[in-house]
Chain A
Amino acid sequence: MSSPPILPKSTSLSDIGNLSRRQRIASIGKVVFLAATLLAVAALAVLLWYIFQRGWGWLSWGLLTNPPSRKPEKAGLSIAISGTLWIISLTLLVAFPMGVASAIFLEEYAPKNRWTRLLQINISNLAGVPSVVYGLLGLGIFVQWLDLGRVVLAGALTMALLSLPVIIISSQEALKAIPWSLREAAYGVGATRWQVTASHVLPAAVPGILTGVILAVSRAIGETAPLLVAGAAGFVTSKPSGFMDSYTTIPIQLYNWMSRPQTEFRDLAAAGIIVLLVLLISMNLIAIIVRQRFSSRTRW
């Protein structure tokens, strides 16, 4: 039986055997990984460039102030913007307190047992349900069963349910980030659980919670499918003035324009996309600023 084929000991470091080939392959690998990352970035760049160059010419103040029209030159987003504002305000009003309250319950109050674990799993599952299914939920319950009809209230409640899991999860993260020692100190001087939470934990968690809510809202602004299903009407002629009015939103109006075959309407849609993107970028910037400004003040 021959002795095992062990790599021979050699005296020289420059006797590198197969290493040069391996290093060549390693360099190729590095380039490939970088290329993949840059490819994703390039896709983003192409998308943004395309939208801008297509829609730039159609940007005007009229886009923001005109109601929709059969003529693309005259059409605008005013009614859609109003609808979006109505929907989002009501969504926030409902989802923000409930979401934060649920997060507080899960993080500060609930014992760690099987039921709360189930609750947690339920919330993560809800976060993964497609938004169109929330639309069906809204259609079935708010529009039809509660017979609200295709009105702002029904749409807002639908979006509230959609945003709730996201707000809960991000608020929980914000609460978890607060070190236990803060709570310990407060309990140590005899505060009740609510006092600890309201006076110590919540104020410290506000930046994180706010950031999460702003991001959840910006996602909700861009959602089309759930409101399409739950009742934004096809052609709305006036801005909503109450919760029981019919409405349309920015993405739905854009969808409307995009679905028309005329090139002008598609150009107009591109311009509308720019408006939507500007709105979303502003909100994200606000979220980042909130996080920076408040977190620099917190000293543990």
Chain B
Amino acid sequence: MATEPRTGSGTQTDALPFFRPGGSYVDQKLLRRQHLTEKTVGYLLLACAIVSVLTTIGIVVVLLAQAVNFFADVSIVDFLTGTTWTALFQNQQQWGVLPLVSATLMVTLLSMLVAMPIGLMSAIFLSEYASPRTRAVLKPVLELLAGIPTIIYGFFALTFITPSILKVVWPQTSVYNVLAASIAVGIMIVPLIASLSEDAIRSVPSAMREGAYALGATKLEVSTRIIVPAALSGIVASFMLAASRAVGETMIVALAAGSKAQMVTNPLQPGETMTGYIVQVVSGDAARGSTIYYSLFAVGLLLFVMTLALNIFSHWFVRRFREEYE
């Protein structure tokens, strides 16, 4: 027996039909419509979430497929072990990637040397020393450093750090050099280290702080000998994520570090990182289907693998070494 559709207001003569004996108070049509909506919505949302999976698959497939084309011309061993990279010499192309890797590692190392102490000490200051008002002012200011587009840092490195700082201290610094780029990258990643380390430090329970103070320790002793060691896994993870960012940094090195692919031993000299090489190639006229074109993806693949490894390692590290406070 069909039930009347419930429109909400009901008629006076039929005020409470669901109490009619044998009648159902559930409107089947409405329910079916709702059910269909639910299913559709559910699938739509799932489809959107799947896009993220497709993105990852896309990245891997594109990089691999084009890199395979590259390795048809160049042996993997030569690629990974060669120390000469003369991609843009038409006649004498050599494809040893180590110069690019050495520049990337040097930039990462130097920028971390800048950012780790400043970032960690800022984190300690903000969480243990600063009053809430000071914190409310300084924290957003630090976050601003992270929000500045990297191209601006590159400009700063090229046109200020090199001529006005480095050349003054070391006149032999060349116009394009690794150190200026590294300093700029370091400044850029300070907020990343500072905010993640601060989170780790703040999650140390206050009971532990109290226990340390109660033993007659100064603030510095409590901060550095109890709190920081207790927050260490989060702090180290922040370092690894910052390093991963430094590895992937492109515009700063493209502008300031130079495009001379050589094994980097002197940071005052130019060097070309993996990301810098990619920019150099796309800024030119690489023909589609040429080895140079495919080299983009080979280098990109190496870059992707390096940052992925760092990211995965940092997550694993936190999971494995996260301090239990209970």
- Asked if residues A104 and B250 are in contact (CB atoms below 8 Å), the reply is no
With A37-B126, A119-B53, A223-B149 already in contact, the answer to whether A133 and B155 are too (CB < 8 A) is: no
The residue on B at minimum CB distance from A143 is: B288
With A129-B308, A164-B52 already in contact, the answer to whether A22 and B145 are too (CB < 8 A) is: no
The residue on B at minimum CB distance from A123 is: B52
By size class, the interface of chain B is: 35 or more
Most B CB within 10 A of own CB, among A25, A37, A99: A37
A64 at the interface (CB under 8 A from B): no
- Asked if residues A37 and B138 are in contact (CB atoms below 8 Å), the reply is yes
Contacting chain A: which of B11-19, B34-42, B73-81? Answer: B34-42
- Asked if residues B282 and A101 are in contact (CB atoms below 8 Å), the reply is no
Contact with B along A51-63 (1 / 0, CB 8 A): 1001000000000
Neighbour of B51 across the interface among A125, A129, A164, A225, CB < 8 A? A164
- Asked if residues A119 and B52 are in contact (CB atoms below 8 Å), the reply is yes
Q: In the assembled complex, which residues on chain A have CB atoms less than 8 Å from the CB atom of B169?
A: none
Q: In the assembled complex, which residues on chain B have CB atoms less than 8 Å from the CB atom of A126?
A: 52, 55-56
- Asked if residues A105 and B45 are in contact (CB atoms below 8 Å), the reply is yes
The docked-state distance in angstroms from the alpha carbon of A84 to that of B29 is 49
The docked-state distance in angstroms from the alpha carbon of A104 to that of B49 is 9
Chain A 29-60 interface residues, beta-carbon cutoff 8 Å to B: 29-30, 32-34, 36-37, 39-41, 43-44, 46-47, 50-51, 54
The docked-state distance in angstroms from the alpha carbon of A139 to that of B129 is 49
Contact with B along A159-199 (1 / 0, CB 8 A): 00100110010000000000000000000000011100000
The residue on A at minimum CB distance from B117 is: A36
Chain B 138-154 interface residues, beta-carbon cutoff 8 Å to A: 138, 141-142, 144-145, 147-154
B85 at the interface (CB under 8 A from A): no
Neighbour of B275 across the interface among A97, A124, A132, A221, CB < 8 A? A132
The docked-state distance in angstroms from the alpha carbon of A251 to that of B148 is 12
State the majority secondary structure of interface residues on B: helix
- Asked if residues B158 and A33 are in contact (CB atoms below 8 Å), the reply is no
A75 at the interface (CB under 8 A from B): no
- Asked if residues B249 and A104 are in contact (CB atoms below 8 Å), the reply is no
With A119-B53, A130-B307 already in contact, the answer to whether A277 and B48 are too (CB < 8 A) is: no
Contact with B along A101-142 (1 / 0, CB 8 A): 110111001100000000101111110111111111101110
Most A CB within 10 A of own CB, among B125, B142, B158, B255: B125
B251 at the interface (CB under 8 A from A): yes
The residue on A at minimum CB distance from B283 is: A228
Contacting chain B: which of A85-93, A205-213, A254-262, A291-299? Answer: A254-262
B296 at the interface (CB under 8 A from A): yes
The docked-state distance in angstroms from the alpha carbon of A246 to that of B221 is 60
- Asked if residues B307 and A129 are in contact (CB atoms below 8 Å), the reply is yes
- Asked if residues A102 and B45 are in contact (CB atoms below 8 Å), the reply is yes
Contacting chain A: which of B93-101, B205-213, B240-248, B261-269? Answer: B240-248
The residue on B at minimum CB distance from A144 is: B288
Contact with A along B204-232 (1 / 0, CB 8 A): 00000000000000111101100000000
Most A CB within 10 A of own CB, among B219, B282, B312: B282
- Asked if residues A102 and B49 are in contact (CB atoms below 8 Å), the reply is yes
Q: In the assembled complex, which residues on chain B have CB atoms less than 8 Å from the CB atom of A165?
A: 52
> Could you tell me the distance in whole angstroms from the C-beta of A288 to the nearest C-beta in chain B?
10
> Could you tell me the distance in whole angstroms from the C-beta of A291 to the nearest C-beta in chain B?
13
> Could you tell me the distance in whole angstroms from the C-beta of B285 to the nearest C-beta in chain A?
9
Q: In the assembled complex, which residues on chain B have CB atoms less than 8 Å from the CB atom of A121?
A: 315
A201 at the interface (CB under 8 A from B): no
Number of A-B residue pairs, CB cutoff 8 Å, is: 242
B311 at the interface (CB under 8 A from A): yes
A290 at the interface (CB under 8 A from B): no
- Asked if residues A44 and B144 are in contact (CB atoms below 8 Å), the reply is yes
The residue on A at minimum CB distance from B62 is: A140
Contact with B along A11-28 (1 / 0, CB 8 A): 000000000001101100
> Could you tell me the distance in whole angstroms from the C-beta of A101 to the nearest C-beta in chain B?
4
Which residues of B does A touch, CB under 8 Å?
A: 34, 37-38, 41-42, 44-46, 48-49, 51-53, 55-56, 58-59, 62-63, 65-66, 117-119, 121-122, 124-126, 129, 138, 141-142, 144-145, 147-156, 158-160, 187, 190-191, 194, 218-221, 223-224, 241, 244-245, 247-251, 254-255, 275, 278-279, 282-283, 288, 296-297, 300, 303-304, 307-308, 311-312, 315
Which residues of A does B touch, CB under 8 Å?
A: 22-23, 25-26, 29-30, 32-34, 36-37, 39-41, 43-44, 46-47, 50-51, 54, 97-99, 101-102, 104-106, 109-110, 119, 121-126, 128-137, 139-141, 144, 161, 164-165, 168, 192-194, 218-219, 221-225, 228-229, 234, 251, 254-255, 258-259, 266, 269-270, 273, 276-277, 280, 284
- Closest CB pairs A-B (n = 9): A130-B248, A222-B149, A36-B121, A140-B62, A105-B45, A101-B48, A29-B220, A33-B125, A26-B220
Q: List 29 A-B contacts (CB under 8 A).
A: A22-B218, A22-B220, A22-B221, A26-B219, A29-B220, A33-B121, A37-B126, A40-B142, A40-B194, A44-B187, A47-B153, A110-B49, A119-B53, A122-B56, A129-B248, A130-B303, A131-B248, A133-B248, A136-B59, A140-B297, A144-B288, A168-B52, A194-B38, A222-B150, A225-B254, A229-B296, A255-B151, A258-B155, A280-B147
